[in-house]
Homo-oligomer: A and B are copies of this chain.
Amino acid sequence: MTIAKKAADGSPKVPEDGASAGGEPPALTPTEHVFAITEDQPLTLDSGGALAPVTIAYQTLGELNRDRSNAILVCHALTGDQYLAGKNPATGRPGWWETMVGPGKTLDTNRYFVICSNVLGGCMGTTGPKDIDPSTSEPFGLNFPVITIADMVRAQKRLIDSLSIEQLFCVTGGSMGGMQVLQWAANYPEAVYVAAPIATAARHSAQNIGFHEVGRQAIMADPDWHGGNYYAHKVVPKRGLAVARMAAHITYLSEAALQNKFDRNLQDRAEVSFGFDADFQVESYLRHQGSTFVDRFDANSYLYITRAMDYFDMAAEYGGVLANAFRTTSTEFCIVSFTSDWLYPTAENKAIVRALNAAAARVSFVEVESDKGHDAFLLDEPEMFTTLGGFLQAAAIRRGLA
């Protein structure tokens, strides 16, 4: 069942052309909802157990058409959330994919019904480790089950079913969002008309697992983590979570991006301090990334979601052959990578393309030239917009949506 919680604000309807002549573009009017999985039909988990109740918080933009054929599901990344457009209530900042989503944009909300849900294990309204465990009436903490990307997608499928959408026009997302896209296409091929995984991988590499483990160890090393039970102590493992975020953030950028943005520029000083202050802008920037992150993200969610990513290995689920995941697919794929992304480099994305080719699936692939690193998928990358826009337009014509 779907419960319309509230419209995000009372701003006026977006005009059809998606842009007002002159002045500020009209504010987006996403709608927030929650969907509940109840005890009578608990969510099956890869770990063997089941979970209920589960709340899924999600946002929608645009209108579902009469045929229920124009829905696009956007899957968010590790530290993303359902607030892909409009003002994020936790940060007060614009949604994380406003470059991509909106009236007249690549994911055109005048045309498509765009859905984005907070992942299972998240901390923005969907059930996760900070929520109350009904069996103890205390927050789950580490009693929350370890989840997988497939579990996240299984929860999303329940949501999509609840909306009576038999087939999503498109499933898309970058990074961990791309992993969910692949899982959707593999597990529910009939429910995905086209799929656009961006800057992602079909399996987490040793280096990726290594960086995640650094972040988890930083969190667990913080005495305020209290074995995951910090809720009871009314503290937050801020220092550990901030360090985890700092380390991860470096991996989201390219060396060139850091160099271009910061070089060795000093922060508000003419000379180095011969001390351990943030002498360099890059230090100040990373500290800021760390300290603001802890205000909006739950440390245990960080543990659980990174774990889900580390466990992700689609080939392993299909007898060790990635192509087997897509043998029967009629979904058409568009895969985008970025030249300077060293977290999910082009080689990882090409491995998906090769598997799709081996499965005789229809796939187009573009490596976008960018010096922005992994985070390019969140930024203003015209070649990405053009590529996905053209792909969606052709698919919309075939699907009778044009």
Contact = CB atoms under 8 A, between A and B. Distances in A.
Interface of A: 46-48, 142, 145-146, 203-207, 209-211, 213-214, 216-218, 220-223, 239-240, 242-243, 246-247, 250, 253, 255, 258-259, 261-264, 272, 274-276, 278-280, 282-283, 286-287, 290, 303, 307, 310-311, 313, 316, 342, 345
Contacts of A280: 206, 209, 213, 310
A140 to B, nearest CB: 14
A240 B214 contact: no
B272 A311 contact: yes
Given A146-B274, A218-B218, A264-B206, A211 B242 contact: no
Given A221-B239, A239-B221, A210 B250 contact: yes
Given A145-B274, A272-B311, A274-B145, A210 B243 contact: no
Contacts of A205: 255, 258-259, 264
A290 to B, nearest CB: 7
A203 B213 CA distance: 29
Residue among A258, A287, A303 with the highest chain B CB neighbour number at 10 A: A258
B220 A276 contact: yes
Contact of A210 (B145, B279, B282): B282
Contacts of A290: 217
A240 B258 contact: no
Contact of A221 (B48, B142, B206, B222): B222
B250 A214 contact: yes
User: Which 3 A-B residue pairs are closest in the complex by CB-CB distance?
Assistant: A221-B239, A206-B258, A146-B274
A393 to B, nearest CB: 36
Contacts of A264: 203-206, 209, 313, 316
Contacts of A274: 46-48, 145-146
Residue among A243, A274, A283 with the highest chain B CB neighbour number at 10 A: A243
A152 to B, nearest CB: 15
A339 B275 CA distance: 34
Nearest to A203: B264
Given A246-B214, A247-B247, A282-B213, A207 B47 contact: no
Contact of A287 (B48, B217, B222, B223): B217
A206 to B, nearest CB: 4
B261 A246 contact: no
Given A216-B276, A280-B310, A255 B207 contact: yes
A20 to B, nearest CB: 39
A2 B210 CA distance: 45
Residue among A47, A278, A280 with the highest chain B CB neighbour number at 10 A: A280
